[in-house]
Each structure stands twice: as structure tokens, then as C-alpha cells.
Amino acid sequence: MIIVIHCKDDIGLVAAISNVLSAHQLNIVSMREHVDVQSNRFYVRLQVDQTTDEEILHEKLLGVLPSDAMITINPLPHKRIVVLVTKEYHCLTDILIRNYFGTLGATVLGVIGNHGHLGDICKRFDVPFFAVSHEQKNKSDFEQEISSIISSYEPDYIVLAKFMRILSPDFVALFPTKIINIHHSFLPAFIGANPYKQAFERGVKLIGATAHFVTNDLDEGPIIAQQIIPVNHSLTAADMMKAGKEIETSVLAKALRMVFEDRVFVYKNKTVVFE
């Protein structure tokens, strides 16, 4: 069973939590904690090797923690996700393979594409694919169709695996802190389209990728994971793009693992990640 808590920092929080767990005969297998001194926030992730009545445990923990405490008790940390795609296959394929072999930490309920290009690969892995074109319809209708499909599955998270459409504030508001995006750049550099072309023209010596939660600010949501690799003048923009796709796949996989294992805390526009 996984227990994650964040709240205002105070003296004796670890002792108070431990006492509650001990009273419920719960043995702590691992515990990671962090205090953000600047914001006076306390974060803790605990793994215990027994289960108990979640509602009673939740109530007891609330009784010993500050009034703003956010507590999640998750006895089955296997998540449910819907994936949104456009045409690029590399991130989706990695997700589908991990899903097939049971190593993703989540179940892919369905894939939605604004083009039909990736329907065949989903069929091969026996995952439902929905083609929802954004063409010849307004953005509101397009997003309504997508959100209806997503809501029918009631997923824990939505993964944008190279979904090349900007989502509206109304859509994002439907799924707060549930939309995870992989951006083909080491943010905050080269925001928006054609980042590898931008990087090539700028003559950069490092390129990278960023996985983050989606907010109303384009490519500026809380960052989950990032990675970079060195490049030099001998690489073309196409070479950078090829290398970048490998980084994107790796970074997204790492970010999803962290999120699915309840290792990521979001507070305002920052994250605390217990790797």
C-alpha cells in the first residue's frame, strides 16, 4: 500500500504519522520525505506491507496533520490511462510494448488520434483506437468529442504521446494535474514548434526533452523529468531530430513510471519527485 502526503511543515509530523500507522499495525517498508523550506511544505511517500481500512486510516491521519493536508492512500498503484497521439509513433510504440508486457505500471484503455496513422499499431496490440479529426470542425467540438471518449474510460491520467495540438483552458480544466506531455525540447528553451530546427540554427551543444504536466501556459507546466545529450556542428537538424526522438521516448517512460508509482508531488508550478 502506498501513502502520499503533503501539507504545511510542522514539528513532529513524521512521528505523528508513524504513530498512526503503528496503531493500525502497518509496517513501514520505505519512507521518503522532503521539506521545501522556502514554501514551508512537507512531502512524504510511504510504502507499507499490509492493508487496512482506507477511510479510517485517512481520518486518523487527518487528525494529526495540519488542516491543509492532502492525503492519498492507494492500495493498488496500477493506473489507468488514455493516450493521445498525432502521427509520430515512437513514444506510443514504447508505451504499447510496456503495456503488453505488463511493465508500464498502468493499463492503456484506449488511444485517440487526430489522424488515423497509428490505428494499425494499436490494433496489433489489441488496444482500442479512436480517430477524431480536428479538420473541418471548430476546436470546441473537436475537444468535446475527445473529452467524451476520455470520460467514458474514467482514466487516472491522459498521456500526450506527441499529440501536436494545443489544448484549450476549458479542456485542461476538465483533467487538472492529470495530463502528461512530452515536449521535444529541454524546457524552457525552444518552446513551441520545430525545436530541433531552432536548436540547429542556434548552434546549441546540448539537446533534450522534457516531460511535464499540462497547464494553461503552453509548455510551462510542472516538470516531471528531463534529459539532455551533447551534440556538435557535424549534426544536421535531421540528425538532431533522430537523436531527440530517442530522448523523448526515454524521458516520457521515466516520467510515467514516477507518476504511476506515486512518486511525484505537484505544488503550484513545481514538482517534488522521489526517484
Task: Just list the catalytic residues.
Answer: 219
DSSP type of residue 2: E
With beta carbons less than 8 A apart as the criterion, state whether 47 and 30 touch. yes
The number of CA neighbours under 13 Å toward the Cβ of 103 is 7
DSSP type of residue 52: -
Q: How many Cβ atoms are within 10 Å of 96's Cβ, its own excluded?
A: 23
The stretches of 73-220 forming alpha helices (DSSP H) are 90-100, 119-124, 139-153, 169-174, 195-202
3-state secondary structure of 24: coil
Judged by phi (left if over 0) then psi (alpha if -120 to 50, else beta), residue 219 lies in left
Instruction: Give the cell for residue 55.
Output: 477511510
